[in-house]
Amino acid sequence: RLADWSGAPTFVDNDAKALALGEGWIGAAVGNRNYLAIVVSTGVGGGIVLDGRLLDGEAANAGHIGHMIVDPLGRSCPCGARGCLEAHISGTAIASATGRPAAQATVEERIVAGRLLGRAVASACNLLDLRLAVVAGSVALGFGTVFFDAANDELARCARLEFARGARVVPAGRGADGPIVGAAAVGLRGLGLPQVPA
């Protein structure tokens, strides 16, 4: 174990939950006690902060938005379901569907991916009373404004409950470094320091 080798306290979590901590600490979610963080890269992961606390769940997997169903008749997902968000907008899925790396996606493909993300975020906002989703990852950040605009348009269309109206999807404030900054936040959380959500 790393802790045995280094003699230092060691804390581990996934990249999306780390992103959630980091963005609440010194990123795009500063000042928000309720938000969702998402990484769209090779796969799609998420982390949820409610009432200022990062959710862990029974097996520390809370926030796994990549396996929300966004198209019941959609693509098969390695998890065994059909139509998962990850099966449509992850870099792996896009490359498999198009025969090209995600970085070479067309504008229309980026818009479709953004819409599907917005649909998933709307469901999360409606379920959890959220108004902010912070998004990082090479695919999302690489897809740029057209992706985020499409996500926000779909979010506005689908999040119609009064408390979810006005929810928005924004790029991570720490950019591509979001999950790395989050790793430091995971350590701070593990040590019980108050700078990040408990």
pLDDT single digits (tens) 11-47: 565 678 889 999 998 889 999 999 999 999 999 999 9
What dihedral do alpha carbons 150, 153, 156, 157 form, nearest 10°?
Answer: -100
Amino acid at 59: A
Task: Give residue 10's pLDDT.
Answer: 62
Q: Helices 91-98 & 107-128, crossing angle to 10 degrees? A: 140
Model confidence at 2: pLDDT above 90: no
For 67, half-sphere exposure in the C-beta direction (CA atoms, 13 angstrom radius) is 10
Task: Give residue 18's pLDDT.
Answer: 85
Task: Give residue 198's pLDDT.
Answer: 46
Question: Does residue 175 come out as left (phi exceeding 0), alpha (psi in the -120 to 50 range) or beta?
Answer: left
CA–CA separation, 183 and 45 (whole Å): 15
Query: Tens of pLDDT along 84-143?
Result: 999 999 999 999 999 999 999 999 999 999 999 999 999 999 999 999 999 999 999 999
Task: Give residue 25's pLDDT.
Answer: 85
CA–CA separation, 66 and 93 (whole Å): 12
**pLDDT over 90, % of the chain:** 75
Q: Which tokens is 112 given? A: 């479709």
Task: Give residue 7's pLDDT.
Answer: 66
Task: Give residue 195's pLDDT.
Answer: 53
| Average pLDDT of the residues of the chain | 90
| Cα angle 118, 122, 127; round to 5 | 150
Q: Which tokens is 183 given? A: 């790793």
Q: Which residue, chain included where needed, has tokens 């309720």?
A: 34
Contact 28, 134 (CB under 8 A): yes
